[in-house]
Amino acid sequence: MKLLVATHNQGKLAEYRTLLVAWPLEFVSLSDVGIEHDVEETGETFEANAQLKAEQYGAMTGLLTLADDSGLAVDALDGRPGVYSARYGTPDLDDAGRRHLLLKELEGVPREQRTAHFICVIALHDPRQPDKKVTHFVAGQCDGHITTQDHDAGQGFGYDAIFQPDDQTQTFGELPQDIKHALSHRGRAAAKLPEIMALVVSE
Cα separation, 161 vs 155, whole angstroms: 8
Is the bond leading into 110 cis (omega within 30 degrees of zero)?
A: no
| CATH number of the domain that residue 107 is part of | 3.90.950.10
Could you give the number of structural domains in the chain? 1
Burial of 132 (0-12, 13-18, 19+ CB in 10 A): exposed
Buried b (16+ CB within 10 A) or exposed e, 57-94: bbebbebbbbbbbbbbbbebbeebbbbebbebbeeeee
Domain coverage including residue 190 = 2-202
- Tell how far CA 41 is from the center of its chain: 14
- Would you write out the chain's pLDDT as a tens digit for each of its 203 residues? 899 999 988 778 887 888 788 888 899 999 999 999 889 989 999 999 999 999 999 999 999 999 999 999 999 999 999 999 989 999 999 999 999 999 999 999 999 999 999 999 999 999 987 666 789 999 999 999 999 999 886 666 789 999 999 999 999 999 998 898 889 998 899 889 888 887 776 55
Residues tagged active-site = 69
